[in-house]
Structure 1
Amino acid sequence: MDTGQLTADERLVWEAYPLGRAVDFREGPERTVRAEVLRALLLEGPRQEGEVPVLRVAGARITGRLDLQYAEVDAAVHLWACVFDETPDLYGARLRQLNLGESVLPGFDATTLRVDGLLRMSGCRVRGPVRLAGARIAGAVLLDGAELGVVGAAGASEPILALHRATIEGDLGADAGFTAHGLVGIEGATVAGNISFDDAVLSNPGGTALHASTLSGGTNLRAQRLRAEGRVNLLGARIPGQVNFEDAHFSNPGGVALRASGVIAACLWMERAARVDGLVTLRGSQFELLHIAPETWPDHVRLDGLTYDRLGPNAPVERRLEVFERDTDGFVQHAYEQLTAAYRRVGDDAAARTVQLAKQRRHRAVLPPYARAWGYLQDVTVGYGFRPTRAAAWLLSLVLVGTVTFALRQPPALKPDESPEFNALAYTLDLLLPIVDFGQERAYAAAGAYQWFGYALVALGWTLATTIAAGVTRAISRQ
């Protein structure tokens, strides 16, 4: 490039580059540097023996398009707090390091970009899309405090941040007030370190705010105090550590607010998260710990195939059962079995029995009439085998009523000369218990209304014995 055509501001940059010195234009009047000058510096700029060239410019207005398409740049690039008139084009480029922190850009085209170190866009204001699909970043990608898109312009089909199928060997930091007006797409991305959306605001009303399906993380996905307006999609994500939505707010009225189906993670943590406005689906996901309070769940859920080892925080079992009533798939037996298993792991057998009883009652609603009637009978008498004390109470009550009745009105003996002495308690037990025989029923026969009363005891005894046997069988089979 003909250096004789450089402006005074551009000459300062040109002379500072081979020495790695910074040129700061933030004080005083606006300074302008042409993008073509920066391109010439990075591709064929001067070198000085014993010095490491670095492009360090702060506070400049950069005019024209910075075209580094397919370029290989062996110097670090720091364009801090600069204002770009046109969208930089770094498609297929390879850089040593890139720092655009606090800069203002109309967009950023860097699909399949390669960076050997850090990519920093902290505090940037980018009105248009940031395209980093397929990028390979050897260090971290930092977007903390950045704002992408324009308020009210959300809903476009193109992501405002495209990191799909990108590979990041460090952390992905989109936190500290990171704001996106539109779709954030990181589906299929691989991040070796932490993924952070702490205190981020993702706004795409009626659409997808975060598309992170098949995302692969190296440690944790943190989104504490996240504010998401639109769908958050984590379908098939793999996070070896924690998925942390503590104090988060999800809102997508009339649609899916959180889709976390097929997720595999150590923990889903939603401590103090606000009640979700929209559907939550966790179908087929696997967690060691599922930490979500009953009041966080929305009116509609999908939980079929969800598995977990432990459950928190502590809450009455009845509150957790209420959530199953909201499943849009209707009766989902697997959900009850998982909750039962979680309670048994911590030794809370009473809660586990309550869950199993609730499962039987919910299942009863989808049975044919005759099966429902049998179910009601099992429920009232023995609580489907999960309320053994109820069976004892029924038996005791019937024995007491029968004993008092036949003590007041002794039935006549069939063979007075051969009959044993009448015993009201033994006679009642003979009628009531099919396997008991004290010889009283064969020796005495009630008549009239008392005969019908005896028939009722026989019928109730058989029914109670059958339901108890069914309950015992069920209890044994679940061990």
Structure 2
Amino acid sequence: MEINELTPAERRVRDAFPSGAPVDFRTGSEEADDPEGGGDWGPERTVRAEVLRALLLGGERTPGEVPALRVMGARITGTLRGRYAVAECAVLLTGCHFEKAPDLYGAQLRQLNLSGSVLPGLDAGTIRVDGVVRLSGCRIPGPVRLGASRIARALVLDGARIGVHADGSTVANDEPVLRLNHAVVEDDLWWPRLVVHGEARIDGAAVTGQIRMDDAELWNPGGTALQAENVTVGSDLHAMRLRVRGRVNLRGCRIPGQLNFAYARFAHPGGVALRASSMTVGELWLREAAPIEGLVNLRRSQIDMLHADPSVWPPVVRLEGLTYTSLLPHLPAARRLPLLEREEEGYVPFSYEQLTAAYRRIGDDDAARTVLLAKERRRRGTLPAYARLWGHLQDAAVGYGFRPVRAAGWLFSLLLVGTVAYATRHPGPLKEDEAPPFSPLFYTLDLLLPIVDFGQEKAFNPQGWYQWLAYLLIVTGWLLATTIAAGITRSVSRN
């Protein structure tokens, strides 16, 4: 192409390029300037992509000026080919209508701003940008490829719509509609109000600053909506009011600050709605989040603070190996325990120990004992029949040692029964001349307490059913004493 074979619109762009002056083709009418209808724009606002490429690679430079490609409201025909190009200037093509997806694979640019534009797709894998990449408000049916890119500042997609046409119809893509896997963003990843229909993949991405996904919507029913394994974030990942239909996979992420899903809604019925295993997170917030539809996997994750109401958890969870330091809001143990019963693997002792430790850190020993009692009861269901019977006895007698007051009640009740029974009918002495005066109270104590001897049991011989009552008190006393000793030993070992 010869540089002098330009239309009037293209000459405007050429003349403005050396000084970086903006070229605005917009009319001021919101309806007329909507790039969704840009295919009908006439030649007065049409620029060929090959003209833009020629300016980027060999456009005139004016000494003392900073060149830049700044075009607003243009219809860009053809494919903007910048594969492996090195352009020492900023590219700002905002509010434009692209007939074909730009090909910027491997390019090096100062800055890239396509805000408000309509594009069929964007191929910018391995791109290098010295400044900010802005796709704010873009409408891109997709796919958008930014894998392995390196961006020195922020990547901004706030309000963008990817994977969906203006009429709401979605695009059948065999690949993720948004790819940012293994990208390096040396500032923030800015995604508020982003709408994605299809899979968004950011596996292995490294973000020096924070990720903001507040009010974003990710839709891929029956599939993966967000694939984000092994993502590293410098500070926080905020996704308040996030709406997801499909699986969210955050396995192996490293987030030293907040992972904030407050007021979020996750739905993947019949599958894993949230996979957040093997993560390291400072704070995980699920405050006021809607009940999660689908399974939640938090296996082997390490979380300093977990803020979640019990109502947020689904009927099935995977918690094996999950460690946390504190839980918010502070709730009675009875509100937290049902979650441990939803474990897919069944009885997981470590989960009970973690909850116990969390209560002990805040000095709530009563709640800690309640959790340990629930653990013993859950463990009982895994034992043979004879062991379960012994467990029921320990539970009824002293609550496995975590309810010691209950033993005093049993002892007092048995002592009262024996005292009343033997006061009604004194057993006869074995030897009349050697028997001490009979005491129903101390006789019953002699029967109940195996290591105590008041001289009553050996001196008197009950008959009939009173003898059977004596046998019952002796056996019950032994069992109760053994159970109390086992419970006390367990309680002491816990402390």
Q: Percent identity?
A: 59
Aligned to 1:13: 13
CA-to-partner distance for each residue in 1:176-224, whole Å, 9 max, x for gaps?
Answer: x210000010110000011111000000000000011101000001110
Name the SS for the 2:219 alignment partner: strand
Aligned to 1:183: 199
Report the AA paired with residue 238 of structure 2: R
- Equivalent of residue 388 in structure 1, options 404, 407, 412: 404
C-alpha distance in structure 2 between counterparts of 1:263 and 1:434, whole Å: 55
Deviation, structure 1 residue 26: 1.2
Aligned to 2:358: 342
C-alpha distance in structure 2 between counterparts of 1:445 and 1:34, whole Å: 116
C-alpha distance in structure 2 between counterparts of 1:152 and 1:24, whole Å: 31
- Report matched runs for 1:264-303 at 5 Å: 264-303=280-319
- Report matched runs for 1:57-456 at 5 Å: 57-150=71-164, 151=168, 153=170, 156-175=173-192, 177-456=193-472
Does residue 34 in structure 1 map to residue 48 in structure 2?
A: yes
C-alpha distance in structure 2 between counterparts of 1:154 and 1:395, whole Å: 75
Deviation, structure 1 residue 324: 1.4
CA-to-partner distance for each residue in 1:339-383, whole Å, 9 max, x for gaps?
Answer: 111011111111111111111111111111001101111111111
Comparing 150-159 with 129-138, greater Cα deviation is found at 150-159
Whether the 8 Å contact between 2:205 and 2:231 is mirrored in structure 1 is: yes
Cα pair distance change 1:117/1:251, threshold 3 Å: same
Deviation, structure 1 residue 304: 0.7
C-alpha distance in structure 1 between counterparts of 2:276 and 2:26, whole Å: 45
Aligned to 2:32: none
Report the AA paired with residue 22 of structure 2: A
C-alpha distance in structure 1 between counterparts of 2:181 and 2:356, whole Å: 39
Whether the 8 Å contact between 1:154 and 1:183 is mirrored in structure 2 is: no
Aligned to 1:24: 24
Deviation, structure 1 residue 170: 0.5
Whether the 8 Å contact between 1:154 and 1:204 is mirrored in structure 2 is: no
Comparing 402-411 with 7-16, greater Cα deviation is found at 402-411
CA-to-partner distance for each residue in 1:408-452, whole Å, 9 max, x for gaps?
Answer: 111111112112111111111111011111111111121111111
C-alpha distance in structure 2 between counterparts of 1:464 and 1:204, whole Å: 60
C-alpha distance in structure 1 between counterparts of 2:405 and 2:172, whole Å: 60
Whether the 8 Å contact between 1:63 and 1:86 is mirrored in structure 2 is: yes
CA-to-partner distance for each residue in 1:49-78, whole Å, 9 max, x for gaps?
Answer: 111111100000110100000011110110
Deviation, structure 1 residue 328: 1.0
Report the AA paired with residue 327 of structure 2: L
Cα pair distance change 1:2/1:38, threshold 3 Å: same
C-alpha distance in structure 2 between counterparts of 1:267 and 1:4, whole Å: 61
Deviation, structure 1 residue 154: 6.3
Report the AA paired with residue 159 of structure 1: P
C-alpha distance in structure 2 between counterparts of 1:283 and 1:267, whole Å: 16
CA-to-partner distance for each residue in 1:376-418, whole Å, 9 max, x for gaps?
Answer: 1111111111111111100111111111111111111111211
Name the SS for the 1:431 alignment partner: helix
RMSD: 1.1
C-alpha distance in structure 2 between counterparts of 1:471 and 1:26, whole Å: 82
C-alpha distance in structure 1 between counterparts of 2:106 and 2:195, whole Å: 26
C-alpha distance in structure 2 between counterparts of 1:301 and 1:153, whole Å: 32
Report the AA paired with residue 34 of structure 1: R
Deviation, structure 1 residue 20: 1.0
C-alpha distance in structure 1 between counterparts of 2:486 and 2:253, whole Å: 43
C-alpha distance in structure 2 between counterparts of 1:112 and 1:250, whole Å: 32
Aligned to 2:31: none
C-alpha distance in structure 1 between counterparts of 2:86 and 2:3, whole Å: 22
Q: Where does structure 1 differ by over 2 angstroms across 4 or more consecutive aligned residues?
A: 151-157
Whether the 8 Å contact between 1:195 and 1:220 is mirrored in structure 2 is: yes
Query: Aligned residues, how many?
Result: 478
Name the SS for the 1:69 alignment partner: coil
C-alpha distance in structure 1 between counterparts of 2:180 and 2:365, whole Å: 47
Gaps of at least 5 residues in structure 2 are: 29-40
C-alpha distance in structure 2 between counterparts of 1:233 and 1:472, whole Å: 45
Aligned to 2:68: 54
Name the SS for the 2:470 alignment partner: helix
CA-to-partner distance for each residue in 1:242-294, whole Å, 9 max, x for gaps?
Answer: 10000000000000000000110001100000000000110111111011101
Gaps of at least 5 residues in structure 1 are: none
Deviation, structure 1 residue 3: 2.2
Whether the 8 Å contact between 2:305 and 2:328 is mirrored in structure 1 is: yes
Name the SS for the 1:5 alignment partner: coil
Aligned to 1:2: 2
Whether the 8 Å contact between 1:211 and 1:234 is mirrored in structure 2 is: yes
Report the AA paired with residue 174 of structure 1: W
Report the AA paired with residue 6 of structure 2: L
Name the SS for the 1:104 alignment partner: coil
